[in-house]
Structure 1
């Protein structure tokens, strides 16, 4: 069986090392890039079969990499992986061409399943097993309005009828789970 090449674009060195080993045990070849520049180079110089892309690379969004990946290999599945899952970013990633979206923590089995899922399978990029908490719904709504305002915190606060500093404090916290 030929080894398939996975581009792993991930800035967490420990996670990348553990995931690379787990994928290699599953007969994949892994090329790792830890920042946007290294990712662009890896995309240009490798003929990948799959791509796993962390949404947040050292504080920068990696959404810009999706079109580059699709241009290089249009039929190659792309999995967005992030510790900061939000519906707004998932929708944006899928619109740009990502095939699936997983929130961390995700293990190698989850990742391989998401990458190799049959196109005929249920094409729901995210599944929600439980209803979201009120705090999580608030977080999702804030992210949606912030995205609609191109990251303008003052305008987002105005539209949410919230003081700008209150919004800034909420944005500094990690997103609530569930």
Structure 2
């Protein structure tokens, strides 16, 4: 069975349009929203089988939308997609009910594979290289930020870092592993 209705929630209009077009070519009926608030309003009016949700958007984060969509449609397959990937946000997304989590950039084939695959692959390749120091710093900042409920000032104090320095680090995309 090929689910027909696909909700794309992303504040990047170019990415959203390209993804919607690719999914439409694959036979899905795609509806787009540019914020979590718009996404939930659309979902209240129409049922969806699949959803791809961006984590970081203007207004509420994509994490807030996962819980709302899960309440409306318990069987919906939900993917958290983000350019700001961290272990902390991946764990939160899964705990809130996302079926899968992917870092950007991801194409339509990768998104569909992640959403439609039910099995976990225990034989998948594991990177033998440890994380870089910069990536470890990024993960530690994300963990501390989560512990302080997103409060930048409290996080900066906990990290013994100037608030503006922390804001600059958070404004950058995460470093590669």
Same fold per superposition (TM over 0.5): yes
Cross-structure match for 1:160: 159
Q: Using the alignment, how far apart are the partners of 2:2 and 2:170 within structure 1?
A: 45
Q: TM-score, normalised by structure 2?
A: 0.88
Partner SS, residue 84 of structure 2: coil
Q: Using the alignment, how far apart are the partners of 1:150 and 1:5 within structure 2?
A: 33
Range with bigger deviation, 159-168 or 39-48: 159-168
5+ long unaligned stretches in structure 2: none
1:43 aligns with 2:43: yes
Contact 1:146 1:156 in 2 (8 A): yes
How far off its partner does 1:73 sit? 1.0
The alpha-carbon distance between structure 1 residues 142 and 76, as it changes in their structure 2 partners (threshold 3 A), is same
RMSD of aligned Cα (Å): 2.1
Partner SS, residue 32 of structure 1: strand
5+ long unaligned stretches in structure 1: none
Cross-structure match for 1:142: 141
Cross-structure match for 2:82: 82
Contact 1:43 1:68 in 2 (8 A): no
The alpha-carbon distance between structure 1 residues 139 and 59, as it changes in their structure 2 partners (threshold 3 A), is farther
Segments of 4+ in structure 1 off by > 2 A? 127-132, 151-174
The alpha-carbon distance between structure 1 residues 6 and 156, as it changes in their structure 2 partners (threshold 3 A), is same
Q: TM-score, normalised by structure 1?
A: 0.87
Aligned length, in residue pairs = 174
